[in-house]
Amino acid sequence: MNNRKLSLLMDYYELTMANGYFKDKKHNQIAVFDVFFRSVPDQGGYAVFAGLEQVIEYIQNLTFDEEELEFLRSKKIFDEKFLEYLKHFKFSCDVYAMKEGTPVFPHEPLIIVKGPIIECQLIETMILLTINHQSLIATKAARIVYAAQGRSVLEFGARRAHGYDASIYGARAAYISGVIGSSNTYVDFKYQIPALGTMAHSYVQSYETEYDAFKAYAQTYPNNTVLLVDTYNTLHQGVPNAIKIHKEILEPMGCSLKGIRLDSGDLTYLSKEVRNMLDEAGLKDTKITVSNSLDEYLIKELLHQGAKIDAFGVGERLVTARSEAVFGGVFKLAAIEVDGKLVDKIKISDNIQKTTVPGFKQVYRFYDGKCMAIADVITLHDEVIDETKPYLLFDPNFPWKSKLIENFNVKSLLVPIFKNGKCVYDLPSLEQIRAYAKEEHDRLWQEVLRLERPHLYYVDLSKKLWDIKQDLIQKYKK
């Protein structure tokens, strides 16, 4: 898996377009492309940007070897000079991106690529599949962690993911958004994401009795005994046997029962009953973990009903983002250089969501005096927002809806990643990304974080950029 070379992991039309650019001698024309998405999954209030580290790794390793070139030659449609260009390919673009873990919103650029159009085109698919997948899972994980109200969430989806890459990078994205660990051992090896897990029902079934299985496990792991109690009968066998193990095996060793796990049944009812049984046995510190096709909605309902749960193991509905399995990021041309000057480009659609924002851009986040996020404003790349003066926010689709704000701070969200093909970004550690994600998440109002019918966070355009967009719409609508 680690020896795979992914240079040809691209849509075929990127190669046919690149070949066309080359033959038409416009392959070095400078272009600006935006990566953005149009709607938040699950009709949520925000998304979480993830996957930048893997995009950087891909770009840094993008070369074409003889085997790949021979394959393309066998297609009999690519110009030999184009194949020679690929043989000596060297990335030279500028890339700007938001930091991983940033809460993001529809239509604002997450990544901007500026450079020779042929290079921009060749990296489109890999950028999109990387950002779309990890941002989708990071967004789902953030919702689940929020629903858990401070209780631990564990990612248990390795065996249900859409392939091993989805499992590995899905666990990474989930960890960014606050999941405390994963069932996937490889991600502990690769990313130091804590690998977590104890036993399956097969372990219990393999012994003559449930008690024998619990005893063997406790003797093997006395300092970390978590027992799965629902193989036969949770309340009449599983929990009583777990309590006996504590008293007869662990306590004499100076240890205690760390936790029990429920994987079936009515989790609200069972967790309440189990909590009472554990408390009556003096095991008030023994934690209750539950699993079984959980998601944010079920977790919210369980807690609303008073379930006595300390941790949630969430599998398939997290790692596959089952409720909405597409993030929907796109890669669109925003400007192209003509005679040394960038000319803004727009795609117009009768669907307002599909009309793009032209130009080479920057995104500013506005914070109030309490450091809470108020709105994002998409500007031209070289625009500077003066924090000492009032600023007029207005809805770009309904510009008469406006608000004059004062006493604010702004932060530019797009930072340089590559300059002239050289990486200039100091990659943060995964722990730093995770801490940043939490910090930025906590700056969103609760109304934006709501799982259902959240407040619509404002993403506006600067007046200069709005004017450019309107002029282009009028130009091409004629």
pLDDT tens readout for residues 295-346: 999 999 999 999 999 999 999 999 999 999 899 999 999 999 999 999 999 9
Q: What is the mean pLDDT of residues 13-17?
A: 97
Rounded Cα distance between 282 and 269, Å, is 20
Query: Mapping DSSP to helix (H, G, I), strand (E, B) and coil, where does residue 7 land?
Result: coil
pLDDT single digits (tens) 151-169 = 999 999 999 999 999 999 9
Kindly tell me if the per-residue pLDDT of 351 is higher than 90. no
Rounded Cα distance between 169 and 373, Å, is 28
Spell out the domains of the chain, with CATH numbers in brackets.
Answer: 12-137+326-477 (3.20.140.10)
pLDDT single digits (tens) 218-277 = 999 999 999 999 999 999 999 999 999 999 999 999 999 999 999 999 999 999 999 999
Kindly tell me if the per-residue pLDDT of 43 is higher than 70. yes
Residue-level pLDDT at 3: 66
Residue-level pLDDT at 263: 96
pLDDT tier for residue 354 given thresholds of 50, 70 and 90: confident
Residue-level pLDDT at 248: 98
Task: Classify residue 477 by burial, with Cβ atoms within 10 Å: 0-12, 13-18, 19+.
Answer: exposed
Residue-level pLDDT at 478: 66
Rounded Cα distance between 273 and 54, Å, is 46
Residue-level pLDDT at 121: 96
Kindly tell me if the per-residue pLDDT of 2 is higher than 60. no
Residue-level pLDDT at 350: 83
Kindly tell me if the per-residue pLDDT of 375 is higher than 60. yes
For Cα atoms 59, 30, 39, give the angle at the middle one, nearest 5 degrees. 65
Q: Are 55 and 111 in contact (CB under 8 A)?
A: yes
Rounded Cα distance between 146 and 141, Å, is 8
Long-range contacts of 111-115 (CB under 8 A, 24+ apart): 111/34, 111/35, 111/52, 111/55, 111/417, 112/32, 112/33, 112/34, 112/35, 112/334, 112/360, 112/361, 112/414, 113/32, 113/33, 113/35, 114/30, 114/31, 114/32, 114/33, 114/360, 115/30, 115/31, 115/421
pLDDT single digits (tens) 125-150 = 999 999 999 999 999 999 999 999 99
Tell me the average pLDDT of the chain: 96
Residue-level pLDDT at 477: 78
Token couple for 107? 């239509």
Rounded Cα distance between 186 and 193, Å, is 9
Sign of CA dihedral 262, 266, 268, 272: negative
pLDDT tier for residue 65 given thresholds of 50, 70 and 90: very high
Rounded Cα distance between 32 and 333, Å, is 6
pLDDT single digits (tens) 70-88 = 999 999 999 999 999 999 9
pTM of the model: 0.96
Instruction: For residue 113, give the H/E element and its range.
Output: strand 111-116
Q: What is the mean pLDDT of residues 8-31?
A: 97
Share of the chain above pLDDT 70, in %: 99
Lowest mean pLDDT among 74-83, 352-361, 445-454: 352-361
CB under 8 Å to 450, separation ≥6 — which residues? Answer: 45
